Every structure is written in structure tokens, then in C-alpha cells.
Structure 1
Amino acid sequence: MFGPGSQFHGFFNDPRWALAMIRATVLEAAHPQIGAALIHNSTFVAHPWRRLRNTFVSMRRMFGGDEQVRQREALRLNRLHARLRGTDTDGRPYDAMDPGARAWVVATMFESAVTMCRLSGQPLEPEAMERLYVEFRAFLAAMGDDAGHLPGSPEEFWPYYDRMVAEELESTEAMRIILYKLFDHLPAPPVLDGFPALWATGRAVAGPVIGAITVASLPEPFRRRAGLPEIAGVQTLMQGVYLAVGLTRFLPDGWIKSDSIAELLSLSPDSDDPRARTITALREQMNRAGALIRLITPLPPEPEPAAAADGGEVRRSAREFFADVLDQTGDGYLTWPDLAAMAREMSSRLDLDEPEETRLYDAYAGWWRELQAALDADGDGRVSAAEYAAAVPSMAGPALIRVAEVLFEVTDKDGNQHIDADEYRALFRTAFHRDTPDADGTYSRSAFVSDFLTFMSGRRRTTPYDPLLAQA
């Protein structure tokens, strides 16, 4: 049911799967509990590319052929979901471990895969649909849930799906953000961050198209109830896009691999990956061409970025640092979910098990209590950008130092009090910087803690921590 040879494995590198997953995500976000968990805890607005890559890595582990990897990933996901609970803006509780909500996530993936095939002119045969449904129910069981939360067969699934659409789904804030804000304001992936004009042009064309065809593909009863607009001609456009994307499946094997594409998009320009170096070289050539054009045209010169007072690294203002680093969820405030998102990202990169993962979360929880006590001037349980900018010249208090120490300890897998090249790459996804290693070619505890505190309090841009916490 998992790994090569499974029905799902054939979809994983299918370009149509990207369209299906966008559609499934919208249907998930329309569930009140899932929508509330997303809007209060997820980084999908401020860091969509990071979220995309983590999702691909998780799905690859869950649907791969290694049973031990799958069990370990299921435990990790359950620990993550167990931390996502609270109350929505209407006072209704939400819990990411709710069995019905978790079953709905799996249901949307199955239904969107079936719809993907139908819209691209290749509907699944009954036997293939049955096999795919068995695999998705097995996936739910692998997560530790009772597979009985989904009906036992595809024939029983469709009445369940229709009932959920008619009775449970709502026009949630998370769903509206995905449809009407995310694609129109999607930041450039890290590897294309140096091409703002090119990215803005492509986004202006592709964003509205993706949003429109996603809306057109949703169940008609839900579109009517949610007040989603009907645009003339979009149904034809939608089918044309699915057909066109489906044709890329006939390209030679290896040309399109979803995990490779996700990794490429998330590469930092400072990465030592050969693909990042190629794009960096292209960016430099384009910058030279732009400089030549500016020399022969009467356009005003572009302002140079402000440098630090010591002539060293470029700094952010306090408000920029707040938006780029601290506000991980993108809601304009610093709250516990923002710091939990940092702990979650680092735990995922380092692939932590218990108890190291809990130690890191606990360290961040202590930092949140310290920040809240020092910066929450109006006592509303959150820190605004104005409160942060007005009250904190430095953030290097005892709790933040503890975060740095715990992060060092969980990165230092062999416990030798130095981070070696492999451990460094696990956290930062790149090789040592020239100014990082100590005399013995490693990264000492004191140097690591000092650099982390310098980044978090000095707001310097050019450190390895910037791709870790600030990039989209």
C-alpha cells in the first residue's frame, strides 16, 4: 500500500498533483477546526515555501516504502498536531488531533486525486479508485487513527463527502486567504529572491488563474453557500489547464520530480548547492546588464542598502526584524504560536525525537514568557510591532540564551560540545561559512550561542540564521 508500486506513488511526481493539493488544502481550510488551526498556528501565509517543502518531505516519508521511517514520521506529526489546539474567534474549540478533522484531511486528498484525473480527461477506473481509497485509509491508520473514521468503500465515501460539504464546511478566514490573498501576494521563493520584477510579473499572471481554477473545481453546492464567484469561461480554462499540465507526464523520467522541485525552490542563494550557485551566477549577470542599462538611460540610481554603524553587516530595523523573523504566522503580532513555529521548524530540520523536541519547545516557551512579561504593555496577551520596537533595544535575556544553548545541544548529535560539518548542514542546509569554524574546523558552543544571540538581538541579515528563520 506504500512505496513504489502503490497507486499514490504514481501520483507523487505527477504535475497535476500540485493542482490537486491546492484544491485539497482549500477544502481542508474550509473545515472550521482545520481552518482555525491554520489561521492561529500555521506559517503558510508568511513562509509558504518553507511550509511546502516540509509538507513534501513529510508525505515522502509517510508514503515511502520504509516502515520504520513511516512510523517515526507519524509519531512526529502526532506530537506536532497535539500542540495545535485552542479557541477560534467565535469561541469554538479546535483540536488538530480531532479524529473527524484528521479523517477529513485524508478525504480531501483522495477526492481531489479522483477529481484531478476526471478534469484532465482520464477518470480513474473503478479498480484503481478502490485501490487508491484503500491506500488512503491505510495512511489514516498509519497515523494512529481508526480507519473507520472514513467509510469502508468508495461507494460509501461519496455520501459521506457530500454530507461534509453540505453540513460542515464554512467560508473560513483561512480558506479566503488561500484563495484571494496567498497567490496574489505570494513572496518569491528563496532561490528567486533576486529577481523581484520577474517574479512579480509571473505572479500577476499566474496568481489569479490559479485562484480562479481552484474555485471552479470546488463542489458547486459549497461554492454557492460560500458566495464564491462564478466567472464566465473559467470551467473551460480549468479543464484546459488540467489537460495541459497532464501532458507533462509524458516527459522523460526524471525531468519532473516533485521533491527535487520543492527543494530547488527553497534553496537559499547562499547555499553551497550547485543549483543555487548557477542561479546566483545568472543573477549577477542580470545585475551587470541592469547596471549597463542604467548607465545609458536617464533613470535615477537605486539607493544602496543601509550598512551597520560599524561598516559590517546590513541590519534590519526593529519593525523589519519583527515582520521578517518574529511574526512567523504573519498576523501582525508576536504570540506563542510564532515561537512554537520556530521550534517546529528547527525540530523538523534536525528530525528530533523525544525528549529533545520537548526540550526545545520548553526553551521557546520560557522565552515567550520572558518576552510577554517585558513587552506586552497593554496586557492583551500578545506583542505588537509597536510594542516591540518601542521597548526592546536587545533581546538577549536569560531565556533567549537558554534557547541558544538547547538548540546547540540538540544540533550536537554526538555530544562532543562542537558542531561538525554534517551537524551544521542538518540545521542550516548549507556548508560552514568561511568565518564560522573554529581552529579545529568545528563550531564551538560559545561561538554558536554568540552568533545566535547576535542575530536575534542585533538583527543582522547576513548570517546563516536568516535562511533558517526569515525566508519565505
Structure 2
Amino acid sequence: MTDNGSSTRTPEEPPGSLFGPDSQFHRFFNDPRWALAMVRATVLEAAHPQIGAALIDNSTFVTHPWRRLRNTLVSLQRMFGTDDDVRRREAARLNRMHARLSGTDERSRPYDAMDPEVRAWVVATLFESSVTMCRLSGQPLEPAAMEQLYAEFRAFLVVLGDQAGHLPPTVQEFWPYYDRVVAQELENTEALRIILYRLFDHLPAPPLLGGLPTVWAAGRALAGPAIGAITVASLPEPFRRRAGLPEIPGAQTLMQSAYMAAGLARFLPEGWLQTDYLTNLMSLSADSDDPRYATVTALRARMKRAGAFVRLVAPLPAQRGPAGAAEPRRSADQFFAEVLDQTGDGFLDWPDLAAMARELASRLDLDEPAETRLYTAYADWWRELQTALDADGDGRVSREEYAAAVPSLAGPALIRVAEVLFDVTDADGDQFIDAGEYRALFRTGFGRTVAGAEARCSRSAFVKDFLSFMAGRRYSTAYDPLLTDA
């Protein structure tokens, strides 16, 4: 650490002192303003052509935004927590995940999620958006606090195995670097346009509000455009002009008001705005057995009454009820859209199955050998699907190809996926999945009370349930929140 507080650490130096409850990042994590800052940072990331291409080709942020948000928050907690072993394990997991994300964009330009300059830009957007959120809310960071925060984010790169020098060594040198990237490298990418103009306008309800489509749609119709306008107004003006982003009258005032109002929420009683608590609560499904769900039952009843009133004013198309209640099976078209097409591009290809493997590996916090087994099993299944369903040989399966084949997906490769998933879930290797192991996999979807021996699930029962969901296209209390819900 230099005299002015900026970081000059190398990858060999342990950065643990920059993490934990005394860090600047930890203070921001439960700050309501940080939600706006995270959206802004995500837009700036998506505007980078390499990151934008990787998001379009591999990410589930369009079809499963709430899942992706929760996974991002869990990852940041692991990286900025107090446990060095957890931090190293999470860094290794992130590196394995990023190593699988490479390809070319629509203009045949290569992208690679392991490019150290690209990873540095991701960290830069988090730092700059944190500084900007404080400025916009009328509480600019003191120089010492800004230098400390910058040192923490540079240490983040070190933990990932990158040189901290991929970001400038001091805060003073950071701003010319940031201005250069904004002016020379950012573009109006497809991923940026989706986030600003499609994602919030069509954001599906979180699991907790899944049974209240009318109320959610009414609120989203107001909040979606507002969030987009606030985010655009907060972006650097040179980029807004170059990207042709619209200047909405009153957007600057709306943006400053939103940041100021979010900043006032810090005066609420401690614990009311714990980020992990709120995200976990929003992830509860309507049939969850989590004790916290009882505390929101009355609120849901009130919101349903409000939804009934809204339907009288502006009725919506009929919605499907709870999983398994009236429709025990999906049509082939529904199954393709809701389960198989994880990236939402209208086709089934390897990134969709890789997204399934990534979600499972993340939930179970698998080590490298177990994660590799799971990805290999899914890769074998993809090759089997290609052989059986890719009629035109274009390397992907369209919705029409899938529906026309009237497929039963329960071939040898899918059975192998089920067996490997059982093995990696069975953490103690006793050939049964107990209540704790089952919850690790189905933590938001396991809607039954489990206790003692009744919760033990054998290999054959687990494989049967998995195949019933994947091959039989049946709704499932457990698997729908895992692979289908937003």
C-alpha cells in the first residue's frame, strides 16, 4: 500500500486485509443505492463488445434474470467475505466458468471471458458505478474512502489470478483509463439494448410473486421504463451521444431523485435492507416450506385482492396456475421454451445445456473434478441431442425441429446426466441424498417438510424423478424453480 492509500499489490501478496466487514465494499453491499449502481455497471459491461457478445451467446440474463442476480450476489459475498479459503474456491470456480466462455460475435470478432483486460473492465465498472452512486445521491466519497475502495477492487483482480496492473495503480490514473475505454471501446451492443429496453419492460415476476401476474405487470409497466431512463441518464454523456441513446426530458431530475431517495433508505432500522435476506425472500416459491414464507402470506392475499381490482380495469391473458395443479404435462413447445432454451435465443444448443450445468455446479459449490464430470455428462447429452434432432445440420436444434421429432429425451446420455447429478449431490457418498443435500440442490424449490429418514432419496428414485421431468415434460415442485423459474 502506498502512502496515498492506493494499492500496489502483486498476485503474491495476500489481499485478505482488504476484504471482510471493514471493507468499503461491505458497507455498500446492503446500501439500496447499490441496486441502481449494479444496473448501471451491468450496462457499461454489456457495452464492451467482448462482454456483450459473451452475454448474448452464453448468459441466461434474459430468461432467468432473478436467478442470475442471486448468483451474482452470492459470488460477491464469497469473494468479499472473511474466509480466505472460500474466496480462493470461488475465484477458482469463476475462472473455470470464464474459461468456457469464448467465441466470435456477429461481426466475427473474437471474445474470451478470460481476457485480463476485459476482466479488468468489469471490475472498473463496479468501482466507477459505486463512486458515481455516491456522487449522484449527494454524498460523494472522501478521497481516502475512494482510494480504499479502489484498492479493494484491484485486490479482487489479484484473487482471480490477474495482475492488479491491468487497472492503473492509483485512483488519479484510473479516470483517464476509464475515459479512454468509454470513448474508444464501448459500443451500442445488442446486450446493452436488451438490458435497457427489453429486460425491465418484460422482467418476469420473482418466484415469491409468481402467483400475482396482474399486480406484477401493473408495477412493471411503471417501473421498467423508469429504471431504463434512470440508467441511461446516469451513463457518461460522451457514450450516450456516440451510442445514440435517447435524451428523455426530465430524466436527469428523475435519476437524481431516485438516487437521493434510495440513499435516504439507509436510515431505516438495521436489518430491514439486508441484501441477501431480501434476495432469498424474493426467491421463495409459492409452495416453499421456508418458515419465512408464513410472514408474507398475508401480504400476498392483500396483493391478490389488488390484482383482482387491476384485472377489472385492464384484464390480462389467462396465466398458467401453480406447477402441477391443473396441467400435469407441458407441450413440447412449452418445454422447449421454458426448460431447454436457457439463453432465450429460440434455439437449443450447447450454451443452453452449459447454462444448466453451470447453475447446478454453482448451487452445489462443486470442486473442479465434480464440476468437470457434470459438464462432460451434459456435453455428451448435447451430442446425443444433435444426432437425434438437428435435422438441417446447422449445429443447433430449433423449436420446430424439437416439436416435429416428438422426442423422448431419455436416452443413455440423459440417464448419465441424472446419475452424475446424483453423485455430485450426494456429498457424503452414502448413496442416499439426505435432507441437507437435497436442499443444497433445490434450495428455493423444495416445497415439502423434510425430516429424518423420510427425506432420504435413493439413486434410483432420484434418477427416476429427474428423467420424469426432463423426458416426460412434467411440471415439478423441485425442478421447475431449479431450471425454469426466472
Distance 2:261 2:222 in 1: 17
Q: Which amino acid aligns with 1:151?
A: P
Long gaps (5+) in structure 2: 1-17
C-alpha separation in 2, matches of 1:312 and 1:439? 31
Match for 1:116 among 133, 136, 141? 133
Matches within 5 A, 1:416-427: 416-427=430-441
Task: Give the secondary-structure state (helix, strand or coil) at the position aligned to 2:361.
Answer: helix
Establish whether residue 73 from structure 1 lines up as the match of residue 87 from structure 2: no
Task: State the distance in 2 between where 1:34 and 1:290 align.
Answer: 39
Query: Alignment length, in residue pairs?
Result: 468
8 Å contact 1:119–1:243 — kept in the other structure?
yes
Check the 8 A contact 2:349/2:397 in 1, yes or no.
yes
| One-letter amino acid of the structure 1 residue matched with residue 364 of structure 2 | L
Secondary structure class of the residue paired with 1:185: coil
Q: Which amino acid aligns with 1:375?
A: L
CA distance in 2, matches of 1:361, 1:161: 36
Percent of residue pairs bearing the same amino acid type: 74
Q: AA paired with 1:337?
A: P
Change (3 A) 1:437 1:217: same
**Residue from 45, 61, 64 that aligns with 2:81:** 64
Give the equivalent residue in structure 2 for 1:344: 358
Q: Distance in 1 between matches of 2:446 and 2:80?
A: 33
Deviation readout 1:293-319 (Å, 9 max, x if unpaired):
99x9xx9997997999xx986211111
Question: For residue 46 of structure 2, what is the aligned residue in structure 1?
Answer: 29
Change beyond 3 A, Cα 1:402–1:280? farther
Question: SS where residue 94 of structure 1 aligns?
Answer: strand
Equivalent residue runs for 1:382-401 within 5 Å: 382-401=396-415
Note if 1:145 corresponds to 2:162.
yes
Out of 265, 268, 277, the position equivalent to 1:248 is: 265
* Deviation by residue 1:31-64 (Cα, 9 ceiling, x = unmatched): 0111111010000000000000000000001011
Which stretch shifts more, 127-136 or 52-61?
A: 127-136
Provide the rounded CA distance (Å) in 2 between the counterparts of 1:369 and 1:18: 40
Alignment partner of 1:446 is 2:460 = yes
Tell me the distance in 1 between the aligned counterparts of 2:317 and 2:168: 64
Task: Note closer, same or farther for the CA distance 1:210–1:436 as it changes in structure 2 (3 Å cut).
Answer: same
Query: In structure 2, what is the Cα distance between the partners aligned to 1:243 and 1:290?
Result: 30
| AA of the residue aligned to 1:412 | D
Question: Aligned partners of 2:360, 2:434: CA distance in 1, in Å?
Answer: 17
Within 5 Å, which residues of 2 pair with 1:87-236?
Answer: 87-236=104-253
Aligned partners of 1:140 and 1:226: how far apart in 2?
A: 29
Gaps (5+ residues) in structure 1?
Answer: none
Q: Is the 8 A contact 1:424 1:431 kept in 2?
A: no
Q: Is the 8 Å Cα contact of residues 213 and 319 (structure 2) preserved in structure 1?
A: no
Task: Tell me how far 1:458 sits from its aligned partner.
Answer: 1.2
Q: CA deviation at 1:414?
A: 1.1
Q: Deviations over 1:129-182 (max 9, x none)?
A: 111111111111111110000000011001000100011101110011000000
Matched, 1:404 2:421: no
C-alpha displacement at 1:287, in angstroms?
Answer: 6.0
Length-normalised TM-score, structure 2: 0.91
- How far has the Cα of 1:279 moved from its partner? 3.8
Offset at 1:416?
A: 1.1
CA distance in 2, matches of 1:41, 1:353: 22
CA contact (8 A) 1:81 1:96 kept: yes
- Encode CA deviations 1:249-286: one digit per residue, 9 max, x unaligned: 11111111111111112222222112334445654676
1:322 and 1:117 mapped to 2: Cα distance? 44
Listed as ranges, the matches of 1:291-330 within 5 Å are 314-330=328-344
Secondary structure of the 1:458 match is coil
The CA deviation at 1:463 is 3.3
Cα pair distance change 1:403/1:437, threshold 3 Å: farther
Larger mean CA deviation between 440-449 and 375-384 belongs to: 440-449
Across the aligned residues of Structure 1 and Structure 2, the Cα RMSD in angstroms comes to 2.7
Which of 275, 282, 288 matches 1:265? 282
